[in-house]
Structure 1
């Protein structure tokens, strides 16, 4: 079974984990240069070197193509903070003094943002991160009250030293020094004009501007993909066991390297003229007689690059390589790969970026790429097809049965697609990762793996340390701020969310969509919302009615200090809207415009996710009243806007969170409303989309439209689910294509009839069982031994049990291809099924559920197409 099948099945919803001080510790015999002086280099990673007992900073000198290691020489140590005085600590908690990793105790004055006053705290230092927290006996477990004890050490080191991953540093006489960035005067002037009357914002603007003006240099990198021999076609090799041979490793470098390392196998022959059959003539194929030599060459090759790129490398490629190398006799110390306890595969010399995890980050998917690959499988093939327009090599036989040329072509294309995902659009993805690292103060490795809430946490923590603020525990915030006052309408939500105006079903020409520009970030800035300002402990502020932005909510906001979140979110929002969006459109140099467009995309990812984290229990600064105020003010803003639209004689036909759909509005009335919103509420609203034709169903968040440029825009498709059979997916594609042919309202009836006829054809094909079995197959993975499915037996497991009767013993990791049947079990493996056994009704139901939202938007009931009797 090829690794891409693993990609199809393993699609977890990546959830944030509680912050923990358990640190990834780098211990390897492999090292890089450690010079006392270097040219400007980009900071790509910060970690903790267990052997040296110090923080390790990794720098890449892109001009001379060298990786440098810099070890901390400032004496920085892991620590936690407590309010227990030193003498009481020594008297009552003597056991911490006896810990091998204990170092010393000191005091520090910190500003407590929940109490809004400075206090003296005790700082307990340790010699290593595990002594603070994570070991069998840690200081965190002994002391009853502590703060900042769960922050990973490499992040704490970044905060304390003001380091910005992705920025330029040089080593000068052994000291790590930031490199100054020249900022054009005209861009400085934009901030001075924007914040002419606000010195605090202007100061912050000047501090942040170099992060965006510093160029993102070309980062040399290599993308890899492996193929593993398996005795069964539907068997996914277990990367932890690594039982089978690695038969090919594809390597594609940003410097032009094109290479495939191939293991010779006696059963595979190569003809003299096979070289001419390679899809890429310049691919170098290297053959090896044994796997150990192949891996040795692989390790040698990747260590010439600072960045290693994979697609699902954490879960498969690098984990498999690591465990396979150990089986072949390699020692851990000589491997350039380290596996962590939380499932990451780290690259010792530089950074490993797993694109599978990066593209699965919801904020990246939605805000950076506009949902181009949303709703379906997050496989390499699906994402590459959506973003690059290039697909994988079609596979007509099992990997293990391919000849050398077929194997090389298949393997190298995967490596090349992985590389191309970081090079298209002038290196958009790599630039985006670097800029996100700068904004969040998070190493590239972490940025590519964790959801946006972790980035926002790191950014906010960095600013706390810079200001000398105590970082509170989550329970401190919750206890100080209290709970919410509204009830959620949506299940599993904790407070009333956004307002949605019911759509008026129909097909409309000339529909304009007005969109509040960064509505929630604008609200956070406009009303000074931050966890320390909302429900602050100042009684005078609490009793002032001017500090209650929503009269029917019992929440107040301090107005005598600027909230940290308000400052950060407001600044980033302003920099995107008033600086980088303008520069992306106006700069004469197309390369510079491209770069500014990446900057504004990175800022968009941050600001659009900034509100939600404070309403998520997993977020360490979880503050329900803050999140409740944001949504309440959002509801107020869109409600007032709709009332104004009606006053102006405009016709709203739908409204959703921060968007308002208007039917056939006049341009002067649109202009008047846009100006009113800005003047009355201090929030920008702008024209977002203009539809030539828009079909609204009666469902929320479900419509189909053709924009003025002729492109199709659909919301609410369900036909992309990964377990949907291909027959239903094909039907969805055909319907969308037919819909795209509508050029005016006069075409609607004709195209609607064509859609009905096409859907009817699919219905008849299924009803008459005139469909290839592979088009009906459902793919699902077995996650545990068959014997452990005791309480209930899922359909794919029933199919697997039928395979067992024929000598095939499926187990964890195997993919079962099965079809729905009228037999006693209700399913059969594809290998054992006959077309006459297919349960047509089940597949007609797949067809209905996949199409009904699109058909609803067009006013076409599915039953009317195929007849009222479906079963």
Structure 2
């Protein structure tokens, strides 16, 4: 038979002492499909010392003679791979089961003939995707034999061949979102409600007790908590979703469900094969794995990948949904939920719970296509990719390319080596051209296009090309000689990482040249993200291809090139306001000057390096720190349409209250758009008066800060830690990663002692918010005009002028 198939997820099981790879996916109609492949076997490599041919033959026989639980290695083959630029002779040891890899490796690594072992830590499912060249979310034509199965799928096939197809669309996956609500009862978190909503229009809320059925809410009332969990499992198995999504479901929802299900002896069998959820360790956190159904925790993706592109630094469901969807959660605090539950007001809690599932589903419909494309580029499953940091994505991209390039993958560094790398002093990063504090008009912003990736490619920066022997005799003439260092890179043999980056950027350019669609847009953005992350990967202590020298070299070239462009700009008669790493701010009287300047610069740059224009602004404000040194990226720009771009000010930081941020933005607008410092000071005084009068909404006073470790590990008790401890004492829930919202209340004691969780704060300390929030935020903008705190607190009748603050072109 021939069957169309889009790959979504992968796992394996052991049947009859053999691994069976299961490829989960769907066809165009959304029918669930599983492909079973029994032909793939696990293996690893061993590097053999120089020995005689006879000794090598004896070595191969010793490996094959190993016995473990009645099994032996399947095969031992001689092979060659390139390892960091050197051709290396290896033996490839194939074993029956994935668990046998570690067993056999632990034996052979102790033999005198073996120098080292490699690729033993690559998980079997990921190994399969790499070796077979399969891409998640790609389309294939399948040939194989249809088989009967107890798995919850529409079609099961014993796989014979997979032929890639060129389609770019995604199937209509069945996606279901869920959320739980809990209350504290005598120190135990009990689940009181579970909501579900899917892409087919199904929605329900499950709760329990003897309450009456409220009107207007799709609420199912069952006997008790155990019956509620069982009903949740029943809905999942009956709805048969391809994808299950939650928001913080790895750390909260699924662990809570598993714990309560175990308490009641209920199997949480959500897998398409009837298996229970598995909480797997991922660094310091866990991930909930559901076999045959892709589980995506949207919070993980937002926190690790998307968060840097969001305006909000608070990544709660409410904040993220408001920014992306324009709508947030129903405003209820945990105390309100507990009160409503105890008052048997199920409708209020049910609406709140169902809204959380609706927001998670809508976010999934927006974010999943981005996850899909990152997954395709990295070449690993969406389950894994959505939980990776950028450095991990780069590493798996390199591992995948290593297989096709016949490169041997370096081993992970041991923990003691990682600790050493962490202790290495920081090297010099990007160059900063300090501005003169003040306001400027007619500003053009230029950026190097993918500065560090293009430097890497242009100068062939890869661990194996560093200080090569073939170029050592004439290194002074080498264009890849690192400025200010005694290192250079090969000019004749292209590095492995360079090959990978070239391919990424070439594929991105090809997509940009095609008619645009959402899939292509997300994919080319994935290419850009991974290319830009490659520089940081060199310096990442856990990196397999770690090279501090490579990272330092890239930064050194970066400093050289931005200085060159600054020199060129000055030569062309432009005033350089500010420069930072890969950005340049110039005063240009007219936008007509932009293209000619870019042409001059790009002609002078080597290789594929180039600059591009990021925008023309009518005015901008640049501010110095108190030390007289420009704070990195602390500026505000206004475009002709009134749009303000803010970097480095409190407006874009979460550890300042809304009242401070809003006041600062209003002050910036008064200065940039209206050039009216008197109005700016008036705005501040009005805010101060409102604070004194107690008329400011509580929501505008909340300060947010994230817990970066368990509460018990904090030695210094800052305001957010003190507030979190109070929250826990009153029955609230916090964990590492929780964003704590608090308000500083009046009274005696330190600021930390007066920090109250937002749920409990009924009053605020006006003096704190005036002197520690609003005034400092405003003075960040206004102090350069000679405006003082006294001017903001009292109408001193002083006259203010921008004349001394407005910087004229030089």
TM superposition score category, shorter chain reference: 0.7 to 0.9
- Which ranges of structure 2 fall in alignment gaps of 5 or more residues? 145-157, 625-630, 796-810
Question: 1:615 aligned to 2:547?
Answer: no
Matched residue, 1:298: 232
Deviates most, 442-451 or 320-329: 320-329
Say if 2:779 and 2:789, in contact at 8 Å, map to a contact too: yes
Matched residue, 1:29: none
Deviations 1:352-409 (A, max 9, x none): 11110101124x334xxxx2334x2111111111111111111165213322221121
Question: 1:72 aligned to 2:37?
Answer: yes
Deviations 1:130-154 (A, max 9, x none): 4434999776688772111222222
Deviates most, 349-358 or 602-611: 602-611
Deviates most, 847-856 or 133-142: 133-142
Q: How does 1:235-384 map to 2 (within 5 A)?
A: 243-257=188-202, 259-266=203-210, 268-270=211-213, 274-275=215-216, 284-303=218-237, 304-331=240-267, 334-342=274-282, 343-362=286-305, 364-366=306-308, 371-374=309-312, 376-384=313-321
How much has 1:836 moved relative to structure 2?
Answer: 9.1
Gap change, CA 1:446 and 1:662, over 3 Å in 2:
same
Task: Return the match for 1:412 from 350, 354, 359.
Answer: 354
- Secondary structure, aligned partner of 2:3: coil
How much has 1:800 moved relative to structure 2?
Answer: 8.3
Give the TM-score normalised by the residue count of structure 1.
0.76
Task: Return the match for 1:107 from 55, 77, 87.
Answer: 77
Q: How does 1:649-728 map to 2 (within 5 A)?
A: 649-682=573-606, 683-698=609-624, 699-718=631-650, 722=654, 724=656, 728=657
Task: Return the match for 1:129 from 91, 94, 98.
Answer: 98
Deviations 1:269-300 (A, max 9, x none): 455xx32xx5xxxxx33222233333233223
Say if 2:277 and 2:289, in contact at 8 Å, map to a contact too: yes
Paired with 2:403 and 2:763, the residues of 1 have a C-alpha distance of 69
How much has 1:739 moved relative to structure 2?
Answer: 3.8
- Secondary structure, aligned partner of 2:439: strand
Matched residue, 2:151: none
Say if 1:40 and 1:170, in contact at 8 Å, map to a contact too: yes
Q: How does 1:392-403 map to 2 (within 5 A)?
A: 392-395=329-332, 398-402=336-340, 403=345
Paired with 2:710 and 2:485, the residues of 1 have a C-alpha distance of 53
Matched residue, 1:44: 8
How much has 1:95 moved relative to structure 2?
Answer: 11
Paired with 1:778 and 1:438, the residues of 2 have a C-alpha distance of 39
Gap change, CA 1:81 and 1:777, over 3 Å in 2:
same
- Secondary structure, aligned partner of 2:478: helix
Question: 1:455 aligned to 2:393?
Answer: yes
Gap change, CA 1:860 and 1:150, over 3 Å in 2:
farther
Deviations 1:191-220 (A, max 9, x none): xxxxxxxxxxxxxxxxxxxxxx63333332
Gap change, CA 1:681 and 1:170, over 3 Å in 2:
same
Deviations 1:255-281 (A, max 9, x none): 222x12221334x4455xx32xx5xxx
Deviations 1:492-517 (A, max 9, x none): 86322211111222122221111111
How much has 1:166 moved relative to structure 2?
Answer: 1.9
Say if 1:299 and 1:336, in contact at 8 Å, map to a contact too: no
- Secondary structure, aligned partner of 1:398: helix
Task: Return the match for 1:227 from 161, 181, 193.
Answer: 181
Paired with 2:439 and 2:690, the residues of 1 have a C-alpha distance of 30
Gap change, CA 1:421 and 1:857, over 3 Å in 2:
farther
Say if 1:779 and 1:817, in contact at 8 Å, map to a contact too: yes
- Secondary structure, aligned partner of 1:446: helix
- Secondary structure, aligned partner of 2:117: coil
Paired with 1:138 and 1:721, the residues of 2 have a C-alpha distance of 53
Q: How does 1:536-547 map to 2 (within 5 A)?
A: 536-538=468-470, 543=475, 545-547=477-479
- Which ranges of structure 1 fall in alignment gaps of 5 or more residues? 1-36, 183-212, 236-242, 279-283
Task: Return the match for 1:532 from 464, 478, 495.
Answer: 464
Task: Return the match for 2:558 from 634, 642, 645.
Answer: 634
Paired with 1:350 and 1:449, the residues of 2 have a C-alpha distance of 16
Matched residue, 1:390: 327
Matched residue, 2:492: 560
How much has 1:857 moved relative to structure 2?
Answer: 8.0
Paired with 2:220 and 2:295, the residues of 1 have a C-alpha distance of 24
Say if 2:743 and 2:761, in contact at 8 Å, map to a contact too: no
Say if 2:204 and 2:220, in contact at 8 Å, map to a contact too: yes
- Secondary structure, aligned partner of 1:610: helix
Paired with 1:136 and 1:861, the residues of 2 have a C-alpha distance of 70
- Secondary structure, aligned partner of 1:513: strand
How much has 1:410 moved relative to structure 2?
Answer: 0.7
Question: 1:581 aligned to 2:512?
Answer: yes
Paired with 2:507 and 2:710, the residues of 1 have a C-alpha distance of 54
Aligned length: 745
Matched residue, 1:517: 449
How much has 1:350 moved relative to structure 2?
Answer: 1.9
Gap change, CA 1:164 and 1:799, over 3 Å in 2:
closer
Question: 1:215 aligned to 2:215?
Answer: no
How much has 1:658 moved relative to structure 2?
Answer: 1.3
How much has 1:469 moved relative to structure 2?
Answer: 1.8
Gap change, CA 1:737 and 1:417, over 3 Å in 2:
farther
Say if 1:140 and 1:149, in contact at 8 Å, map to a contact too: no
Gap change, CA 1:666 and 1:339, over 3 Å in 2:
same
Paired with 2:59 and 2:781, the residues of 1 have a C-alpha distance of 66
How much has 1:450 moved relative to structure 2?
Answer: 0.6
Matched residue, 1:731: 660
Say if 1:756 and 1:865, in contact at 8 Å, map to a contact too: yes
Q: CA RMSD of the aligned region, Å? A: 4.0
- Secondary structure, aligned partner of 2:352: helix
Say if 1:731 and 1:759, in contact at 8 Å, map to a contact too: no
How much has 1:337 moved relative to structure 2?
Answer: 1.9
Paired with 2:562 and 2:358, the residues of 1 have a C-alpha distance of 46
How much has 1:834 moved relative to structure 2?
Answer: 9.7
| Structure with more strand by fraction | 2
